[in-house]
């Protein structure tokens, strides 16, 4: 797929409850808001922005608060899910729109789903990549994660204490990111039966299990430079604070326990992605939790970073779904 020149993209800073949100947009037409995951930025959608624009949409990829050029509040609890929902609403309003389709990947999928759940008046369709929808409720997240892995520590638990993961990552941001991307991508992830990079051995670090000296096919030197440059400038604390609010989210979203998403929806997952495998029960529950699911695809042989590993397929499936979604044109 030809890669759009950065000069084709329009960068904006818009006001939000965070202070400001940076976004990159292309095209005109109905608004599609694109929300990235960890540890990425708006740049994760670089392949899809021109495709959506060519299909007649106004595509806007944002930096979630704590990332890139968006504001980075100091308080840990400033990164709770409801705050991120309000950022998304503010972006739609700042762009002069009353509603949008929202599409997210990884953490962005959960942010997108919660935005659609809490503000259905603004978000009239929702696309989820890599992480399926699971309604709020159930056991407290910290208790679930603490019970995973036996003597090893699940990465979400490892991320909880401020400063701990930062001390691992920030001395070598570029190397850590390259290893993290490789660990979750098809072609470079550890072979079945190898130590799982989602878990930390006692006294170890997460990067101990990253593939050594291997870069995913989708990740060019330039791409890695872009990501590393952003995180070397901002640090990782804002991004990691998202993980440090999961119990707060559990309390905040208690009124929505068990609630389905009634909007038209899409799900894309990779068959080699741990998120897809771990949450297979959530995918099986889609007839109940996503009653208006109109497009669902598991991409054979794909890992976690779908829109970068499989840019053409992701773009085609997104635009096909959007065309089928009933939204005004003009």
Choose the catalytic residue: 22, 105, 198, 304: 304
Is residue 172 among the annotated active site residues? Answer: no
Distance CA 302, CA 201 (A): 27
Apex CA 223: angle with CA 102 and CA 274, to 5°?
Answer: 60
Burial of 224 (0-12, 13-18, 19+ CB in 10 A): middle
Distance CA 231, CA 184 (A): 19
Distance CA 154, CA 206 (A): 9
Beta carbons of 200 and 158 less than 8 angstroms apart: yes
Q: Residue for token digits 């989820």? A: 128
Is residue 106 among the annotated active site residues? Answer: yes
Cβ atoms within 10 Å, residue 60:
29
Beta carbons of 17 and 90 less than 8 angstroms apart: yes
Structure tokens at 292: 């208006």
Choose the catalytic residue: 106, 223, 252, 273: 106
Residues designated as active site = 106, 304
């Amino acid at each position: 797929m030809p890669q759009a020149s950065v000069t084709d993209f329009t960068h904006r800073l818009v006001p939000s409850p965070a202070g400001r949100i940076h976004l990159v947009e292309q095209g005109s037409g109905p608004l599609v808001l694109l929300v990235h995951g960890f540890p990425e930025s708006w740049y994760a959608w670089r392949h899809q922005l021109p495709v959506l624009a060519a299909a007649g949409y106004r595509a806007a990829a944002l930096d979630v608060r704590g990332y890139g050029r968006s504001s980075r509040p100091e308080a840990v609890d400033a990164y709770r899910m409801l705050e991120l929902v309000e950022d998304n609403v503010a972006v739609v309003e700042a762009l002069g729109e009353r509603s949008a389709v929202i599409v997210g990947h990884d953490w962005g999928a959960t942010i997108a789903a919660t935005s659609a759940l809490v503000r259905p008046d603004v978000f009239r369709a929702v696309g989820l990549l890599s992480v399926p929808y699971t309604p709020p409720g159930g056991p407290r997240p910290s208790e679930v994660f603490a019970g995973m892995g036996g003597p090893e520590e699940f990465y979400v638990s490892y991320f909880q204490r401020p400063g701990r993961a930062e001390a691992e990552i920030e001395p070598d941001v570029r190397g850590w990111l390259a290893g993290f991307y490789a660990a979750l991508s098809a072609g470079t992830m550890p072979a079945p039966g190898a130590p799982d990079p989602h878990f930390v051995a006692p006294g170890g670090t997460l990067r101990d299990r990253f593939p050594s000296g291997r870069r995913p096919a989708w990740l060019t030197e330039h791409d890695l430079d872009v990501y590393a440059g952003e995180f070397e400038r901002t640090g990782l604390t804002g991004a990691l604070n998202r993980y440090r609010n999961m119990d707060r989210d559990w309390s905040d979203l208690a009124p929505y326990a068990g609630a389905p998403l009634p909007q038209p929806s899409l799900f894309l997952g990779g068959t080699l992605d741990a998120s897809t495998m771990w949450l297979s029960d959530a995918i099986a529950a889609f007839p109940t939790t996503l009653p208006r699911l109109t497009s669902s695809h598991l991409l054979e042989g794909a890992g976690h970073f779908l829109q970068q590993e499989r840019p053409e397929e992701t773009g085609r499936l997104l635009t096909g779904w959007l065309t089928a979604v009933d939204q005004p044109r003009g």
